[in-house]
Structure 1
Amino acid sequence: MAIRNICVFCGSNSGLDPQFSTSTEALGKYLADNDYQLVYGGGNHGLMGKVATSTLDAGGRVIGIIPHFLVERELALKNVTTFIETRTMTERKEKMLHLADAFIVLPGGFGTFEEFLQMLSWSQIDIHQKPIALYNIDGFYDDLVNMLQKSADLGFAPEGNLDLFINGHNLDEIFSQFHEFKHVLPPKYTN
């Protein structure tokens, strides 16, 4: 499958480490320079706003998908290539899944964690077969990766589930693995 649309999950805050913003802006430029289209949550704040703006500033295309209640709170970036308003957060995620060919998860808060874990969970039950990458900037996701490993080690998930996502530390690594990714469905029950 050709990868053209990259869905990015990330924080609506920028975080305290300036490297998060710098890496996010570099991702936006990378997407535009390599003719990928960004699919993201439609926000205008934090890393969400930065990835969209940097993609647009570099001449790229952006699909923003945001629920109506966040539009009402004036949290939407409307000057994107395609603006899609949904009724609910669930509808937003389903639309993102449908449009995306692959996922990149930047640092973020609880919503970002939930989005990553839902896409990973949906992958393990074969709702989708798309690559998912944690963009592990400055080791942000090390503890989460260790927790997922612990879940496998203690018999709550098959070891093969750890191959359903990429733990990437730079963009070249992530995109190289995207193009080599093979979705292999491990047996769900380990014991």
Structure 2
Amino acid sequence: MTGSFDILIVGIGGQGTILASNILGEACLIEGRHIKGAETHGMAQRGGSVESHIRIDGLYGPLIPPGQADLLISFDLLEALRYSHYLKKEGTAVVSRNLVIPTSVYTQKLTPPTEDEIIAALKKHGLCLIEADRIATEAGSPLSQNVVMLGAASRWIPLKPENLLEAVKRLVPKKTIEINAKAFQMGRDAGGKS
């Protein structure tokens, strides 16, 4: 593969965005691939916007410029919409159907976009929608949604799925390895169906 493969992972605080980016980094190390990454913690608290930039085999700095991401992995529909301008025209968005309406929408009496409006806007790129909360719960823990999303996105990531799974096993707490391995595989299966 030539050139950088750029992945932007977005979500809100507490959804496991940073762990997901660390898993990608670990998988790159397993494969001996060059990686650059950067994280931006919006409000640095649960509920604040979090973004992780991952550049596999990148030649330039760690931040992905708008319009240059090959893949957007979003743990929330609104966050996917907020960061969709980072995707290349031919890029793909792997998005959880989860929708968290920020408190500011209520305090400012705003009307949030509907799920259908968000999905319609995201369809200008390749779009893979995942029921991450349902799949994670079936795998054994709703906390494994981030790993479900990595499994779903693994079909587009230029790393071997077995190395991504090995990275999951290395980085999740030991007592949750089995649940997260199952979550990864179930996410991968779901990503193949979209």
TM-score (structure 1 length as normaliser): 0.39
Q: When you count strand as a share of all residues, which structure comes out higher?
A: 2
